[in-house]
Amino acid sequence: MRILAPQFAEKLRGSVNTLCRAWTFTRKDGTILNLIEHDEDITIDGTLFVKANAVAIGQVESAFSLSPDSASIEGIYDANGQSETSFVLGNWNNAQAELFIVDWQSPQYFIQIWSGYVNSIKRTNIGFELDLVGSEHQLNNQIGRSFSRRCDAKLGDGRCGVNFNLAGRKFTSAISGIINSYNIKVSSFAASDDAPFIGGFIEFKSGILIGQKYQIKNLVRSTLVEFELASELPVLPSNGDVIDIFIGCDKSFEVCKVLFNNIQNFRGCPHMPGESVVFAGPSIANNDSGART
């Protein structure tokens, strides 16, 4: 149970009030956007909430069941700093959302009434549509691991723990040609011809895609090195954009041991029996027609 100031509680009960809604969105890249459904900017608890220009926010629909609450938002690009590029780069994917009720005459009185996240995004030529769902929607997510002989960690993440700062594991180069949204060419870099880049990834260190990572699907070596990426670039980079190139891993125990010396962090079950063991029966070759003993 939450205790409200008597003045605020009276406003909530009143038929005529000075209440409005305020929203806080925290994007995947850490950018925070504070909007208020009012005709003026208002500071709430030391944080400035700007009026929601060209943004239409629907009502939060609640259900007295296991179905999650939902809401929708429509807006125009750049109206409140939400550029089209930020959507293209995926910065709004699973963005956190918080809803407050605030007294715009006395903004020291406010209360958070809902929280959720962006569940889906639809982009149009001039704007966007966001579908929000309540935090309880995460209860529908499958939790747990699938056991496999191969590692299920993401290369370079906290569970993997590979140190890419060691020699021969990371290289720096620059974009020297764009073939299409899957294939790019980079300047030569000091790596051996047998360096295993398939299954590795590139990370942009400058340009419009800075901070973005893309897995390497294939490569062709010539005067320049051509990389084929496993996923499409949302926007095309520019020649000269700097990238880091990381060697790959096929998720096997052997590569983890020999190439990375990292078996203490291997997240697979290399000695797990296969299907042949599960379905194996007695061998007819050992049948001597004798009785059981």
Distance of alpha carbon 66 from the chain centroid:
25
Q: Give the model's pLDDT for residue 181.
A: 93
Q: Give the model's pLDDT for residue 70.
A: 82
List the CATH code of the domain at 6-140.
2.30.110
Q: Where are the domains of the chain?
A: 6-140, 170-248
**Which letter, b or e, does each residue of 103-133 get, where b requires 16 or more Cβ atoms within 10 Å of its Cβ?**
bbeebebbeeebebbbeebeeeeebbebebb
Q: Give the model's pLDDT for residue 1.
A: 66
Distance CA 93, CA 115 (A): 16
* 6-140 and 170-248: identical CATH topology: no
As averages over each run of 10 residues, the pLDDT of the chain (293 residues) reads 83 82 92 92 95 79 64 82 84 92 93 90 86 81 82 93 92 94 89 84 94 93 88 93 95 95 94 77 68 60
3-state secondary structure the chain: CCCCCHHHHHHHHCCCCCEEEEEEEECCCCCEEEEECCCCCEEECCEEEEECCCEEECCCECCCCCCCCEEEEEEECCCCCCCHHHHHCCCCCCCEEEEEEEECCCCCCEEEEEEEEEEEEEECCCEEEEEEEEHHHHHHCCCCCCCCCCCCCCCCCCCCCCCCCCCCCEEEEEEEEECCCCEEEECCCCCCCCCCCCCCEEEECCCCCCCCEEEEEEEEECCCEEEEECCCCCCCCCCCCEEEEECCCCCCHHHHHHCCCCHHHCCCCCCCCCHHHHCCCCCHHHCCCCCCC
Q: Give the model's pLDDT for residue 100.
A: 93
Q: Give the model's pLDDT for residue 142.
A: 72
Q: Give the model's pLDDT for residue 291.
A: 62
CATH class of the 170-248 domain in this structure:
mainly beta
| pTM exceeds cut of 0.85 | no
